[in-house]
Amino acid sequence: MQASKEFLHIKIAEWFSLNQRELPWRQTRNPYFIMISEFMLQQTQVSRVIPKFIDFIEKFPTLEFLSQSNASEVIRSWSGLGYNKRAINLLRSAKMIIDEFKGEFPNDIKNLCLLPGVGEYTASAIICFAFEKAVPVIDINVNRVLERLILGSDIRLPVKTQKEIALQYLNHEDPWTWNQGIMEFGALVCKNIPDCFNCVFNTVCASPLNRTKIYYEEEKITKPKLQIENKNTPFIQSDRYFRGQLIKFLSLAIEDEWISFEDAYEYIKRMDNSFDQEKLEILLDKLNFEGLIQFSDIKSEKTIKTLSFRLPK
């Protein structure tokens, strides 16, 4: 038996009211705060975001305040979250809203997607969670729940199909609770390895993973295993790791202090003695291109090895 939309809406709302995590960005409809949380939650675990979010909004309490801040302040406050380009995009987005939108926060997908670092998902999240507009907010958790519950599938569907299903089952009367609830349900119950016994939908779920519908001997069942991505390069030897370490090194420097190439190279060599200068040049060049650092002189006139650098102003 397939569940009706109304049944899903009621059950998700009931479950969410009893089981939701207390997250600070759920206590507000301020679009600026929602935007900050969505930038931080991109590729970063919720548990790591919570303290950083609280500290960040204390230091940059308004959109106007952030827009007038310099990049080095923002990057320092972002330190520890990783993917520091998000901090620069957040700052650029704040400036763009103040300068080009006259301080009025965009509340439609088209204009929100003009902001640096904002794609369709982030725009949809801001529209729903700040303005409570009836748009589907589709992340991996939402897809997983709907695909299992409605289609009985664990196979990733085409994006167009995902959108069609999410829109079909959207709760237009209370989109905020629906989107927050189904995301939370996917994160806590309908995970990669689902907790079917404690699922409020175990009598109607179409997924073959629904163990409450299957009679079996425990020892004869091959349980699904998490697929761990096989990476050739360990994280502590990856470019992302060393990029993060360089930003951390600059964050610890005195405000406006220029750091020499030699000092940076010595710092990195302590972590990996095989790290060569050419690789450091490439990393610094990329960080400068992305706006995460600035060089002391024009790069085209001098080699990177002769330049100093710091967090941007």
CA separation for the pair 260, 30 (Å, rounded): 42
Q: 152: Cβ–Cβ under 8 A, 6 or more apart, which residues?
A: 205, 206, 207, 208
CA separation for the pair 178, 270 (Å, rounded): 50
Q: Does an H or E element contain 294, and which?
A: strand 294-295
HSE on the CB side for 45, CA within 13 Å?
3
Is 100 considered catalytic here?
A: no
Q: What is the dihedral of CA 274, 275, 277, 280, to 10 degrees?
A: 180
Helix (H/G/I), strand (E/B), else coil: 158 = coil
Helix (H/G/I), strand (E/B), else coil: 102 = coil
- The tokens describing 302, both together, are 């001098």
Give the burial class of 147: count Cβ atoms within 10 A of its Cβ; 0-12 exposed, 13-18 middle, 19 or more buried. buried
- Which of 6, 22, 38, 229 is catalytic? The answer is 38
HSE on the CB side for 200, CA within 13 Å?
18
Report, as residue numbers or ranges, the catalytic residues.
Answer: 38
